[in-house]
Amino acid sequence: MRTLKWNYDKNLLEMIDQRLLPGEFKIIEFDTYQKVAQAITDMVVRGAPAIGGAAGFGLAAAAFQSAASTPEELHRDLKVAAKVLGQARPTAVNLAWALDRVLNEVFPPLLIGEGPGVRSDAEVRSNAEVMSLCQAILTEAQRIADEDVEINKRMARHGAELIEDGDTIIHHCNTGALATVDWGTALGVIRTAHEQGKNIHVLVDETRPRLQGARLTAWELEQYGIPYDIISDNAAGYFLRTGQVQKVVFGADRVAANGDVANKIGTYMLALAARDNSVPAYSVVPTSTIDLTLPTGEEIPIEEREEAEVLALTLKGLQVSPANASARNPAFDVTPHRLVTGIVTENGVVYPPFDKNLPKAVKSET
């Protein structure tokens, strides 16, 4: 099933609780935007495209929560909700992208009485009109979710052309169906190559500190019947240097205009090792993850999470770190574009110079 979906009978959002996998598969219900925002922060849902989908449905929940009697009041309530949702995780650009898309689609300036010379006639609008807008918000959120699945499959077909029969691939973090509404980005490429009959093997980075690779990617690969081995993050360089890897693939939470890639912490070191050993490294992202407003990765905000995620590691039931230890926990790093072989999008594979070719991919209609 999908990572997240709107339950039209109950009028609420349902999401897989990814914190419990692989030990337990559980669906949680969310009927307020505050709960959706907290779910994003707590990583009940994670992965840039999935976060974007959750944000869209979070606005739908906010619309049905609202006691507004006019479109103007509803718009004000939704702007408050969008601010709360937008602060849940700052690095993933899909979050802000989805919120802006829903609000701009449903509330163009003429509708909410904004702009020079435009008359606001809220006093003659009815509750029926507000309900119609609520439904429009839900429709747009659903459209974002459905488009994500189709975009992922298009990306996967482009990316699978880069995978050769017999390849061993290092994959970082989780970029499969769980990181999207369905199918996946980088892991979607691997899944498609496998379904095409290519004999491939995946080395799965654990991806500390939250172990999205060992917990989520390994679980997904088992569902698809794709052979894999889990490796510690620090082992990637060994396998690359000894010639046991032919491709490196990962996703991204934001790509700057010059091709710098913000992705799960550890991606930078992996890309460095890949470049030093002449192994191509590809980032797989929908064009909604490409932020052309940021010239370089230096401008990408990097989320730093609580130190408990690092310090809570145990070994044989005992805490690894000293009781009074402190920790730093950046959730992402930025991989410079010089280390990225290509960026796979739904509109094809983009190669350097990224500053010239990424805008073409974003604007492409094909």
- Domain extent listing, the chain: 4-152, 153-363
Q: For position 109, what pLDDT does the model report?
A: 55
Judged against a pLDDT cut of 60, whether residue 96 lies above it is answered with yes
pTM: 0.89
Mean pLDDT for the stretch of residues 28-39: 98
Q: Report the mean per-residue pLDDT for the chain.
A: 93
Spot the catalytic one: 253, 260, 291, 333.
Answer: 253
Task: Answer yes or no: is pLDDT of 122 > 50.
Answer: no
- pLDDT of residue 110 exceeding 50: no
Task: Give the pair of three-digit tokens for residue 253.
Answer: 């939470």
From CA 259, how far away is CA 274, in angstroms rounded?
17
In the chain, what percentage of residues exceed pLDDT 90? Answer: 91
What does the DSSP 8-state code read for residue 60?
H
Predicted confidence band of residue 268 (pLDDT cuts 50, 70, 90) = very high
pLDDT of residue 115: 37
Alpha helices in 66-126 (DSSP H): 71-86, 93-106, 109-112
Of the candidate ranges 29-33, 69-73, 85-89, 137-141, the one whose mean pLDDT is the lowest = 69-73
CATH number for the domain running over 4-152 = 1.20.120.420
- Lowest-confidence region among 14-23, 77-86, 114-123, 294-303: 114-123
Residue 117 reports pLDDT greater than 50: no
Find, among 289, 286, 285, 267, the residue nearest to 335 by Cα. Answer: 267
Rg (CA), the chain: 21
Taking the CA atoms of 356, 262, 80 and 4 in sequence, report the sign of the dihedral they define: positive
Tell me what pLDDT residue 128 has.
86
Q: Would you say residue 126 has pLDDT above 90?
A: no
The CATH code of domain 153-363 reads 3.40.50.10470
**Highest-pLDDT range among 111-115, 123-127, 311-315:** 311-315
Mean pLDDT of 101-113: 74
Q: What is the pLDDT of residues 154-190, one digit of tens each?
A: 999 999 999 999 999 999 999 999 999 999 999 999 9
Q: What is the pLDDT of residue 365?
A: 55
Is 253 a known active-site residue?
Answer: yes
Task: Please identify which residue in the block is written with the tokens 């790509």.
Answer: 255
Q: What per-residue confidence (pLDDT) applies to 113?
A: 45
When pLDDT is averaged across residues 88-93 and rounded to a whole number, the result is: 89
